Amino acid sequence: MCTETQALRKRSQTGSAPELSAKEIKSLLPYAKSPVGLFTAKTTSPKIILQKHDKTDARKYLVAQAGLENFIRSIVAALELKLPNTVRFNMNGQGVMQTWEDVYMAERVYTQCLGISKRIYQTHAYTHEPERKLAYFILEEHNERSSWILPGFDFYVLVFCYYNDNKEVTAVDVQYDQMSFFLHCMGLAQAHAWFVEHVITRIAITWAKAFHMTGLVNPFTFTLQLILFPVLLMYCWGVMSTTA
């Protein structure tokens, strides 16, 4: 039996969807005031989304390469694009490079500074929109470290590639959580994930079970706990300090 949710996942539909009024078309606001990649449309609806994916040249490519230069040449070769010497390479809004040589040099230097000995790049959901002269994908970085003290990690980045009528790549926009990246480099993100999984989660589940058993679960009692718990901790700290 096919549910409504499963039917919506199919690319082609039998029959036409009902027309939506202007009030039913939801406006999508970008997550930033000036998004680097023009990824979201100003208005959308289920019908518009289906039509977009029917028209999109969604040829999927799996590219996996060691080293940034090898990876870039592989992803543009998949769409038969050209790499001129000049490009506007926007690195998460924190820096803009104008040539590929600068891009490759910067990647070599900062990976050595961060103790990354080997980096393997892989694409996910590689999508091409010829009408917009745009290709975008999720980039997975597998980072191995030069010292056993430094933990290896995988990281995900959103990449937009723009090209012109001559199929020359003109701009690349890279978007990622920069703070999360450096926390992973230092091992703090991994330590935080372990602490949350093995300590905080177990305490939270124990508290939730006890709270549920009281039969007094409501916003008032929850807010009351948030107020009383730090007060109780401060009182116990004061008693212990006085005793010492």
- Per-residue model confidence as pLDDT tens digits over 207-231: 899 989 988 889 998 898 888 888 8
Query: Quick one: pLDDT band at residue 181, thresholds 50, 70, 90?
Result: confident
Q: Per mean pLDDT, which range of 13-27, 88-102, 229-243 is the poorest?
A: 13-27
Residue 16: what pLDDT? 42
pLDDT at 62 over 70: no
- Output the pTM of the full model: 0.62
User: What's the rounded Cα separation, in Å, for the pair 154 and 142?
Assistant: 5
Amino acid making up residue 208: A
Amino acid making up residue 31: Y
- Per-residue model confidence as pLDDT tens digits over 35-44: 444 344 455 5
Q: Angle, to 10 degrees, between the axis of helix 68-78 and the axis of helix 100-113?
A: 140
- What are the DSSP calls for 32-78, one per residue? SSS-SS--S-SEE-HHHHHHHHHHSB------EEESHHHHHHHHHHH
Q: Angle, to 10 degrees, between the axis of helix 201-214 and the axis of helix 219-243?
A: 120
Residue 168: what pLDDT? 93
